[in-house]
Amino acid sequence: MNPFESVSALEDAKPLDRLVGPVREGVRSLLGGGIVRDALHGVWLGHPLHPVLVQVPIGAFTSAAILDSLPVDDSAASALIATGIVSTVPAAAAGLADWSEMHEQQQRVGLIHAAANTVALLMYGASLAARRGGHTGRGKAWSYAGLGVLSFSGFLGGHLAYRQAAGANHAEAVPHLIKPGWQDLCALDDLEADGVPQHMTLNSVELVVVRRGERIDVLSDRCSHLSGPLHEGTVSQDGACITCPWHGSMFSLEDGSVRRGPATAPQHAFDVRVESGRLEVRLPGAG
Ligand code: FES
């Protein structure tokens, strides 16, 4: 069995749900739904924050392992391990924020990823304590063991990102599937004018159309976070935004920008015009 098949089995390990549920609810209530949670998701960055923040502890722990293999004083490696431990805190906070709004299969893998990171962190703590007690050899053994566990955890993180597409932009394909220029979508009379989202398809791409009186907004329908159906979402009272029904990401109907996470990538917003009673749409950058 190749390693990815083993991790795929982990995705379906339903007994983990007994832990996933309470931890997820604990993380959600701790973070709330405001600017702290959005900051940790990376809404301000337009990109998940967690993969950016993990560079510091990974770099520090790996550099410490290299120094430990050389005939040099132990103090620089100790400083790097301390840096790695401290910098894990914001990286873990961002990772937990993302994890709390994932699919259940992703959360099972993510739970083991977080548990492995915790074990690795304890090993590095033991390493630091041993070094400070003058037991350099034991300290090196703990940090090499920590790096081994961290590597396993990194493998799970890679599976989450590349096999399970957690953190990826799920609306990326849209401009490659839409033909350039104006496209006929529907008769204007097919649209309700009451601001209720309607589901339509263009070149196999799903769209959500919202008409409110004379104003018509068209976005790609599948949420950039994890492909939730925006046409089943809710439009704000002022008609400015639409909220995804799956994890609550909110997008501007005018330009598709993210108003609230967990999504960090915008929805594709279409230009609209009415010609001879037909609604036509155009996606800037399509083709
Ligand atoms: S799919 Fe998660 S917020 Fe839309």
231-246 pLDDT, tens per residue? 999 999 999 999 999 9
183 pLDDT exceeds 80?
A: yes
Q: Which atom of ligand 1 is nearest to the CA of 223?
A: 4
Compute the 3-state secondary structure of the chain and give helix, strand, coil in percent, each to the nearest 5: 50, 15, 30
β-pair partners for 199? 208
According to the model, what pLDDT value does residue 7 have? 82
> pLDDT per residue over 34-88, tens digit each?
899 999 999 999 999 999 999 999 999 999 999 999 998 899 999 999 999 999 9
Query: What number is the average pLDDT over the span 3-19?
Result: 86
Going from the Cα of 254 to the center of ligand 1, the distance in angstroms, rounded, reads 19
Q: Whose CA is nearest to atom 2 of ligand 1?
A: 247
Place of tokens 């096999």: 163
What is the rounded average pLDDT of the residues 93-100? 96
Pick the closest to residue 124 from 70, 63, 71, 50 (CA basis).
Answer: 63
Q: Counting Cβ atoms within 10 Å, is residue 107 exposed (0-12), middle (13-18) or buried (19+)?
A: buried
Any ligand 1 atom below 6 A from CB of 249: yes
Report the candidate in 209, 280, 283 with the shortest Cα–Cα distance to residue 239: 209
Q: Span 159-171, mean pLDDT?
A: 95
Q: For the residues 191-210, what does the mean pLDDT come to?
A: 92
User: What was the pLDDT predicted at 3?
Assistant: 66
pLDDT, position 31: 87
Angle at 246 between CA 243 and CA 252, to 5 degrees: 20
Retrieve residue 76's tokens: 């620089």
State the sign of the Cα–Cα–Cα–Cα dihedral 176, 177, 180, 186: negative
Question: Which of 102, 247, 258, 267 has the most ligand 1 atoms within 8 A of CB, as the residue to mutate?
Answer: 247
Judge contact between 219 and 266, C-beta under 8 A: no
3-class state of residue 178 by DSSP: coil
Ligand 1 atom having least distance to the Cα of 226:
1
Cα(129) to ligand 1 centroid in Å equals 43
Over 80: is that where the pLDDT of 1 sits?
no
Q: Is the pLDDT of residue 215 over 80?
A: yes
Q: What contacts 214, CB < 8 A, 6 or more positions away?
A: none
Tens digit of pLDDT for each residue in 130-159? 999 999 999 999 999 999 999 999 999 999
- Report how far apart, in Å, the C-alpha atoms of 155 and of each of 66, 87, 142, 203 are: 20, 20, 20, 37
Query: Does any ligand 1 atom lie closer than 6 A to the CB of residue 102?
Result: no
Mean pLDDT of the chain: 94
The identity of residue 36, as a single letter, is V
Q: What is the pLDDT of residue 144?
A: 97
Q: Tell me if 102 sits within 8 A of 9, measured CB to CB.
A: no
* Any atom of ligand 1 within 6 Å of the Cβ of 228: yes
Alpha-carbon dihedral sign for residues 127, 133, 136, 137: negative
Tell me: pLDDT of 10 over 70.
yes
DSSP strands (E only) in the chain: 183-187, 198-202, 205-212, 215-220, 234-235, 241-243, 250-252, 258-260, 269-275, 278-282
Residue 168 — pLDDT band, cuts 50, 70, 90?
very high
Residue 41: CB within 6 Å of ligand 1? Answer: no
Measure the CA–CA gap between 222 and 225, rounded to whole angstroms: 9
Say which amino acid occupies 35: I
Q: Is the pLDDT of residue 33 over 80?
A: no
Q: Is the Cβ atom of 226 under 6 angstroms away from ligand 1?
A: yes
Whole-number Å distance, alpha carbon 248 to ligand 1 midpoint, is 6
Check pocket membership of 171 for ligand 1, CB cut-off 6 A. Answer: no
93: its two tokens: 């906070």
